[in-house]
Amino acid sequence: MEKVAILIETKNGEIKQSNFGVVTAARGNDHELYAFLIDGGGIDHKAALEAYGIHNVVEITSDEGPLPWNPVTWSKAVISAMQHFGINTLLGLTSAQGKELLPRIAARLDAPLIMDCIAVNLAGHTVEKSQYSGKTIATIITHGSLSIYGMRPNAIEPETYPETADLITFLTEVDSQALTIKEIKQGGAGGIDLTEADVIISGGRAMENTENFRILRQCAEPIGAAVGASRVAVDAGWVPHSMQVGQTGATVSPKVYIACGISGSVQHFAGMKTSGLIIAINTDPEAAIIKRCDYFVVADLFDIIPLITSKLKAQLG
Ligand SMILES: Cc1cc2nc3c(=O)[nH]c(=O)nc-3n(C[C@H](O)[C@H](O)[C@H](O)COP(=O)(O)OP(=O)(O)OC[C@H]3O[C@@H](n4cnc5c(N)ncnc54)[C@H](O)[C@@H]3O)c2cc1C
């Protein structure tokens, strides 16, 4: 029976929903699934993790309590746990945190690493990954006993599969030589992580300025949506880069993506084409996005968005 670990990410004390898609992807072939939690809360998260098929919830901690965020100490702690439990396959998210940890772990273990996977077949040691701005899907096979995969957040729909999990505490040493983190600042995109959001409302060149993004935020607020942007809006300085969707921004897979005043360049599509449902609001019926979306409204976004906002507010109170 192969032992597979999933590196679980939390935010504000809650497990990020996209982790459950990763757990779903790791299930099957009699794998024994381990959930690695580094920032505490093992007892609080056990029920949620076993509902998706986890067999062992491992809280990685130290004599002094949970390890504060530090990519060097955390990656070393994960490696110690992998070696202790005999884990050959590690999955995580291709998130900001995953991008810090998974390459460090792979480098130290000299293990193959594939990031931004959209599907995985652990029995066959293969993963799928979109390439060339989403024009092709590559199937990649890894060789050797160890494999590390970073999954694209929300690429896999979570499916429950109840199991009974053991809660294990794994004590690790704190590396005093590790790099020192002096300050952690919240990114400018606000509270909702773009890669985690079920619904994203993005604005492009048509937004014209920073102030106009307010109407997108007002529309997003009642439904807990995140607000994104095209590169033009970012390059113009209207919104921070953390809000950019696309080839040189975030890759997102929300259930619904609403593109407002965005033409639908290949570079923008590269970051959102795996969205469940794409809706475009654009004044130009010939815009590229109109041909590639599921629904469109040919209209001025400054007319449509306030209407949607008032409807949502009326419906949701
Ligand atoms: C190497 C490289 C990497 C890149 N990476 C990215 C990336 O990560 N993300 C990204 O987004 N771009 C990226 N780009 C830029 C990309 O090529 C496009 O220039 C950009 O996506 C266009 O942004 P836009 O759709 O907002 O603007 P435009 O293409 O100018 O489109 C604006 C749209 O708004 C519509 N419109 C105008 N007024 C209104 C209105 N009032 N209501 C409704 N619709 C209206 C217009 O009809 C038009 O379709 C990259 C480019 C390169 C070369």
Tell me how far apart the alpha carbons of residues 298 and 305 are, in angstroms, rounded to a whole number: 12
CB 206 near ligand 1, within 6 Å = yes
Nearest CA to ligand 1 atom 50: 267
Phi first, then psi: give them for residue 69, nearest 5 degrees. Answer: -55, 125
CB 267 near ligand 1, within 6 Å = yes
CB 293 near ligand 1, within 6 Å = no
Tell me how far apart the alpha carbons of residues 90 and 102 are, in angstroms, rounded to a whole number: 9
pTM: 0.83
To 5 degrees, how large is the angle CA 40–CA 42–CA 43? 130
CB 216 near ligand 1, within 6 Å = no
Q: At what angle do helices 71-85 and 96-109 cross, to 10 degrees?
A: 60
Closest ligand 1 atom to 301 CA: 42
pLDDT at site 46: 96
Kind of pairing, strands 136-141 and 56-61?
Answer: unpaired
Q: Across the chain, how many H-helices and E-strands are there? A: 9, 16
CA-to-CA separations, 56 to 5, 43, 172, 233, 250, in angstroms, rounded: 9, 12, 17, 45, 32
State in Å: Cα 252 to ligand 1 middle.
Answer: 17
pLDDT along the chain (317 residues), means of 10: 94 92 90 93 93 97 90 95 97 94 97 95 92 87 95 93 96 81 72 86 98 96 95 97 93 95 96 94 97 96 97 89
Closest ligand 1 atom to 246 CA: 8
pLDDT at site 177: 73
Contacts of 103 (CB under 8 A, 6+ apart): 113, 115
Sketch out the chain's domains with CATH numbers. 3-171 (3.40.50.620), 199-316 (3.40.50.1220)
For a pocket test of ligand 1, which of 133, 194, 205 has the largest count of ligand atoms closer than 8 A to its C-beta? 205
CB 61 within 8 A of CB 68: no
Closest ligand 1 atom to 263 CA: 49
pLDDT at site 287: 97
To 5 degrees, how large is the angle CA 133–CA 262–CA 155? 45
pLDDT at site 188: 56
State in Å: Cα 138 to ligand 1 middle.
Answer: 27
CB 294 within 8 A of CB 204: no
Q: What is the DSSP letter of 121?
A: E
The token pair at 206 is: 């048509």
CB 228 near ligand 1, within 6 Å = no
Which one, of 30, 28, 35, 9, lies nearest residue 87 by Cα?
35
Closest ligand 1 atom to 289 CA: 49
State in Å: Cα 6 to ligand 1 middle.
Answer: 36
**H or E element: which one contains 92?**
strand 89-93
State in Å: Cα 233 to ligand 1 middle.
Answer: 8
pLDDT at site 189: 54
CA-to-CA separations, 19 to 24, 159, 215, in angstroms, rounded: 9, 11, 31
Nearest CA to ligand 1 atom 7: 246
CB 109 within 8 A of CB 79: yes
Tell me how far apart the alpha carbons of residues 179 and 234 are, in angstroms, rounded to a whole number: 31
CB 294 near ligand 1, within 6 Å = no
pLDDT at site 183: 86
Nearest CA to ligand 1 atom 41: 300
pLDDT at site 11: 87
Closest ligand 1 atom to 304 CA: 42
Amino acid at 204: G
State in Å: Cα 100 to ligand 1 middle.
Answer: 29
| 126 CA to centre of own chain | 20
pLDDT at site 191: 65
Q: Which residue has the tokens 């809706």?
A: 279
Tell me how far apart the alpha carbons of residues 197 and 217 are, in angstroms, rounded to a whole number: 14
Contacts of 126 (CB under 8 A, 6+ apart): 120, 139, 140, 141, 142
Tell me how far apart the alpha carbons of residues 204 and 213 are, in angstroms, rounded to a whole number: 10
pLDDT at site 187: 64
